[in-house]
Amino acid sequence: MQLKNTRRDIKSIDLLPLINVVFLLILFVLIAGRPSTNHPAGLEVARSTIQSAHQGAALSVWLKQDDGFYLSDVKPVTLSELTDLVAQKGIAAQGLPLELIADRRATAKQLLAFRRAMAAAGIGEIRLKTELTGEAAE
């Protein structure tokens, strides 16, 4: 009995679309996967030993060493201006949190004044951004 010699032709696989998709996925992960912050120069944030997941906030406020509140590096804003901005953007009405990036050399008096002013404006949650130290609990 004679068997047929079946030889299959190997077709080439076009890898270019696969390479394009993988490249686009890598770019997406690099851009979307790294939350970036706009910390001002010279700001030393508080330290913590427990890492929590990054969650974006509706508004980011900086409390610098000079006990001034900033929305950018340009000029300080008062608590009444911050309260007006919160009301104008409807942050409290939507139930959105605020983010506070405080210099660890700033006084607690300003931190408490900020908390009282935001509570009066209707803000229920303020997230304090900290730096994770190497002494994390395992």
Element (H, E) at 93: helix 91-94
Beta strands in 29-129 (DSSP E): 47-48, 59-63, 69-70, 76-77, 98-102, 126-128
Residue 66 has what DSSP assignment? Answer: T
Phi first, then psi: give them for residue 2, nearest 5 degrees: -105, 130
pLDDT in tens, the chain (138 residues): 666 776 766 677 788 888 999 999 998 888 877 665 565 666 776 676 766 665 667 788 888 888 889 887 778 899 999 999 888 888 888 888 888 888 888 888 998 999 999 999 888 888 887 776 765 444
Query: 40: number of CA atoms within 13 Å, CB side?
Result: 21
Q: Which fold has domain 47-132?
A: Nucleotidyltransferase; domain 5 (3.30.420)
Give the residue among 58, 50, 103 at the shortest CA–CA distance from 76: 103
Q: What is the pTM of this model?
A: 0.58
